[in-house]
Amino acid sequence: MQVFVTRRIPREGLAALSQAGVCSIQQWDSDEPIPRSELLAGVAGKHGLLCLLSDRIDKEVLDAAGSNLKIISTLSVGVDHLALEEIKKRGIRVGYTPDILTDATAELSVALLLATCRRLPESVEEVKNGGWTTWKPLWMCGYGLSDSTVGIIGLGRIVPLAKLAEESDFVAVTCSLTPDTKGMCNKDFFSRMKKTSVFINTSRGAVVNQEDLYQALVSGQIAAAGLDVTTPEPLPTDHPLLSLKNCVILPHIGSATYATRSAMSVLSANNLLAGLKGESMPSELQL
């Protein structure tokens, strides 16, 4: 059986695929995203596809793959890049990588929250550009976590969204991107937040209306924001959000530890192999 891998992945995952003796592998051997034309050509006739969250697997790709395709394994926990209804219609199974990136993403969320509320990137720049002249009582002051209320969107359905916005000193978005959550954090949401509150998003960029977020930050409606995800990705270097000192933006590195990415690649490989053999997958998405 033949599989197509859309990117250079951690060697442990590729080794698992190669050593299984189940399939022949064709790979887009680059750290950069595969061009659309190469993706369409690469999937043609393949039985399995190992892709990333940056690969849009839609009807066009599925048509290009043809009837042989039986398993799609994505090296991600998010699946909003996959045309799931079309995939289900064709009887294709889907593997993904939940749970193993939870700790790394949680750590990054806390790090981003602290970096944002304590103005760490801004402080580093002041050291570099000569802005640090002496110790000043109110210089570079931010907001602390002690005795604060942290609202986490995605932790459950216990608190109405409006109430969470109104009562939280820190809002952290960790939910999946669905039709219901798309654009959920918008002008109305930000208008309910405290002027001293800090907004953090480590889920998916499209959960946030970025124009509304920009206006909330510029107008002082909220104090600061930290984003590990944006729309689009990468965010253009001339994007208005990047001009703001009270907005910290990271390049989607929530799961970026060596151990986590290695584990993700191995799980992706094992999902793919199980799908090719018609066996139970370690982590199969139920369609």
Residues that are catalytic = 252
Burial class of 129 by CB neighbour count within 10 A (0 to 12, 13 to 18, 19+): exposed
The pair of three-digit structure tokens given for residue 56, joined into one six-digit string = 């849009």
Burial string for 137-175 (b: 16+ CB within 10 Å, else e) reads: eeeeebbeeeeeeebbbeeeeeeebeebbeebbbbbbbb
Contact 22/1 with Cβ under 8 angstroms? yes
Nearest-angstrom CA–CA distance, 59 and 79: 15
Nearest-angstrom CA–CA distance, 171 and 186: 13
